């Protein structure tokens, strides 16, 4: 199976508890005002074989997998395949989705995806309710603990932002309240 993937990170600490592999899907039609990641909206661009993503996940030897976007559930078969791979390896699973839990449950693959998640952060980003901590970008979003794997305190202790500096000097800025290049100057 292939998917449109905006980016991956092999060792993030700002996208859920512990050290996590993150997949940012490419494509989102939900159109939240003030979205931090508008470059992920267009449902176009290169695709990648999920076998390659899973091989990178294995090589990273992380605590868990986080799916983000873009909107993971607009490529639900790929999201489910990645979650199944993480679960088979006994790793933690977390997904950020602009859809609410109820909306997800009504989607064809929603119940299967929910059944393979430890943590779901759901709902559209609403800039008027900006929060930026505890893994929630805005206060209307909800942190759902779908299994007993993580405590609320553990998940909410996730750092709000991180900066990763690549070997080539490139900067990657992630988290629910990511810094901007301008704020670093």
Residues that bind ligand SF4 (CB under 6 A): 28, 30-32, 35, 37, 40, 69-71, 98, 124-125
Closer residue to ligand SF4 (CB): 21 or 125 = 125
Closer residue to ligand SF4 (CB): 57 or 125 = 125
Which runs of E-coded beta strand occur in 37-135?
Answer: 47-49, 64-68, 92-97, 119-122, 130-133
Q: Kindly state the DSSP code that residue 68 receives in the 8-state scheme.
A: E
- Residues forming beta bridges with residue 164, ordered by sequence position: 172
Q: Give the whole-angstrom CA distance, residue 178 versus residue 160.
A: 7
Nearest distance, CB of residue 168 and ligand SF4, angstroms: 26
Are 110 and 104 contacting, i.e. CB atoms less than 8 angstroms apart?
A: yes
Nearest distance, CB of residue 34 and ligand SF4, angstroms: 8
Nearest distance, CB of residue 97 and ligand SF4, angstroms: 7
Closer residue to ligand SF4 (CB): 68 or 93 = 68
């Amino acid at each position: 199976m292939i998917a449109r993937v905006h980016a991956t990170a092999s060792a993030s600490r700002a996208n859920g508890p512990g050290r996590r592999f993150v997949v940012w899907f490419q494509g989102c039609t939900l159109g939240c005002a003030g979205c931090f990641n508008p470059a992920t909206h267009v449902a176009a661009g290169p695709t990648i074989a999920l076998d390659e993503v899973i091989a990178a996940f294995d090589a990273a030897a992380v605590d868990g997998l986080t799916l983000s976007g873009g909107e993971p559930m607009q490529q639900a078969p790929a999201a489910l395949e990645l979650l199944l791979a993480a679960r088979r390896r006994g790793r933690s699973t977390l997904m950020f989705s602009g859809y609410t839990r109820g909306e997800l449950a009504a989607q064809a693959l929603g119940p299967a995806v929910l059944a393979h998640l430890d943590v779901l952060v759901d709902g559209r980003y609403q800039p008027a309710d900006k929060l930026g901590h505890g893994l929630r970008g805005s206060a209307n979003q909800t942190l759902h603990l779908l299994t007993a794997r993580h405590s609320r305190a553990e998940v909410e202790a996730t750092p709000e932002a991180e900066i990763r500096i690549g070997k080539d000097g490139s900067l990657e800025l992630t988290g629910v309240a990511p810094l901007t290049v301008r704020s670093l100057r």
